[in-house]
């Protein structure tokens, strides 16, 4: 088997292994980064909603408190504020969702669906659990959801959620007395659930991976060709020429041209050695003839 074939076989094997390894590692890293980016988006969305809740509780509700005597204003409710804030966001980003999924809500739109109820119950049954995340398929594609428990820690909340008699009359007039009552202090009544689409970041990661691999393969190919050229030019051709000269000398052609020695590399050293050996041979033959 020719040297170049052996060389290329080994080189191909090394490159294949390297490409494979690089592909696996880069794919994993890009996918993980994409998921981290999705999760970070979800956390930012969640914090935005929490900020809307805090702003409502600290600034809006006190200003509108008196008006509750006349008309129930859902704008005074932190959960409503957070949901409406997110609904505004969804006008530009419709694939993102936020919900304060509650097992026993006052507003029916907040009632937890089956999978949301599972999350809420997980929070209720697992002490100290502060976050649940997961992935699920939706009509809009695969989404990542991030959930945090809604725990009643402010006794003020119970004014509207303990017993109907304690709730503002205007609230009862709007929502009735059948839902959203019986909550207890320190009870987990629901979960804030943010869902963010995974498609775009994952697609971006895949695209980056493809570009990276194409570039890597191109680079490997270029190196492969370059190495072959160098091998042929610097080793194989000089060795073949030296071999042809050696053959002719071995057949008695002592006048064959000298191998030109250029540089001080190993081929030059070999050529010089061959030249000395040839001279020694010629001298020895002459001595025998004389």
Partner 1 sequence: MRVTFVDGQMKLLRGTQVLLAAPGVVVLDSDILETAPKAYALIEFPDGVRLALGDETRLMLRTLASGGKPAMREFAVLQGWVKIQSPAASVADFQLQGLRWSIQGRETSVIVRDDAMLFVEHGAVAVSVSDLKGRAGTPQRLNSGRFGVLDENRALVLQERPAEVFVTAMPRPFRDPLPRLLERFKGREVEPRPAGEVAYGDVAHWLQGPQLWRSGFVARFRPRLGDKAFRQQLADNVARHPEWDRILFPEKYRPRNPPARP
* Residue of 69, 126, 138, 203 interacting with partner 1 (CB under 8 A): 69
* Residue of 17, 25, 63, 254 interacting with partner 1 (CB under 8 A): 63
Q: One symbol per residue from 85 to 124: x for binding partner 1 (CB under 8 A), - otherwise; what is it?
A: ----------------------------------------
Q: How far is CA 200 from CA 23, 75, 133, 196, 208, in A?
A: 21, 34, 19, 10, 12
Q: 259 and 246 in contact (C-beta within 8 Å)?
A: no
- Between 157 and 171, CB nearer to partner 1: 171
Pairing of strands 188-197, 132-138: unpaired
3-state helix, strand, coil in the chain (%, to 5): 65, 10, 20
Q: What single-letter DSSP state applies at residue 111?
A: B
CB of 169 to partner 1, least distance (A): 4
Count of positions on this chain that bind partner 1 (CB under 8 A): 10
- Name every residue whose Cβ is closer than 8 Å to that of residue 236 and which is 6 or more positions away in sequence: 3, 4
- Between 64 and 282, CB nearer to partner 1: 64
Q: 45 and 194 in contact (C-beta within 8 Å)?
A: yes
127 binds partner 1 (CB under 8 A): no
- Between 64 and 226, CB nearer to partner 1: 64
* Residue of 70, 250, 251, 287 interacting with partner 1 (CB under 8 A): 70
In a 3-state reduction of DSSP, which class is residue 132? strand
Tokens 């697609």 locate to 203
Structure-derived torsion over alpha carbons of residues 167, 172, 177, 180, reported in degrees to the nearest 10: -60
CB of 78 to partner 1, least distance (A): 20
In a 3-state reduction of DSSP, which class is residue 210? helix
75 binds partner 1 (CB under 8 A): no
* Residue of 1, 2, 5, 66 interacting with partner 1 (CB under 8 A): 66
Q: Which of residues 146-185 bind partner 1 (CB under 8 A)?
A: 169-170, 173
44 binds partner 1 (CB under 8 A): no
203 binds partner 1 (CB under 8 A): no
Phi, psi at residue 98, to the nearest 5°?
-140, 135
- Between 63 and 254, CB nearer to partner 1: 63
252 binds partner 1 (CB under 8 A): no
Joined tokens for residue 82 = 């957070």
CB of 164 to partner 1, least distance (A): 12
- Between 64 and 281, CB nearer to partner 1: 64
Range in contact with partner 1 (rule: CB under 8 A) among 62-70, 97-105, 125-133, 228-236: 62-70
Q: Is 182 left (phi over 0), alpha (psi -120 to 50) or beta?
A: left
- Using alpha carbons only, what angle is made at residue 82 by residues 162 and 133, rounded to the nearest 5 degrees? 95
Footprint of partner 1 (CB under 8 A): 63-64, 66-67, 69-71, 169-170, 173
């Amino acid at each position: 088997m020719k040297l170049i074939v052996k060389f290329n076989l080994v080189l191909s094997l090394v490159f294949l292994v390297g490409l494979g390894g690089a592909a696996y590692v880069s794919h994993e890293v890009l996918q993980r980064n994409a998921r981290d980016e999705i999760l970070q988006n979800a956390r930012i969305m969640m914090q935005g909603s929490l900020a809307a809740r805090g702003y409502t509780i600290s600034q809006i509700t006190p200003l509108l408190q008196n008006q509750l005597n006349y008309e129930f204003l859902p704008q005074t409710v932190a959960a409503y504020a957070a949901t409406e804030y997110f609904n505004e966001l969804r006008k530009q980003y419709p694939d993102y969702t936020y919900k304060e999924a509650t097992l026993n809500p006052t507003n029916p739109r907040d009632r937890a669906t089956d999978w949301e109820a599972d999350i809420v119950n997980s929070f209720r049954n697992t002490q100290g659990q502060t976050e649940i995340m997961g992935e699920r398929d939706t009509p809009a594609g695969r989404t990542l959801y991030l959930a945090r428990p809604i725990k009643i820690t402010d006794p003020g909340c119970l004014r509207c959620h303990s017993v109907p008699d304690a709730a503002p009359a205007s609230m009862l007039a709007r929502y009735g007395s059948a839902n959203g009552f019986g909550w207890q202090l320190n009870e987990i009544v629901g979960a804030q659930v943010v869902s963010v689409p995974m498609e775009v970041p994952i697609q971006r990661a895949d695209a980056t991976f493809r570009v990276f691999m194409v570039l890597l393969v191109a680079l490997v190919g270029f190196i492969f060709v370059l190495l072959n050229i160098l091998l042929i030019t610097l080793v194989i051709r000089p060795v073949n020429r030296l071999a042809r000269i050696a053959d002719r000398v071995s057949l008695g052609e002592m006048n064959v041209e000298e191998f030109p020695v250029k540089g001080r590399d190993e081929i030059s050293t070999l050529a010089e050695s061959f030249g000395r050996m040839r001279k020694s041979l010629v001298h020895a033959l002459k001595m025998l003839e004389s």
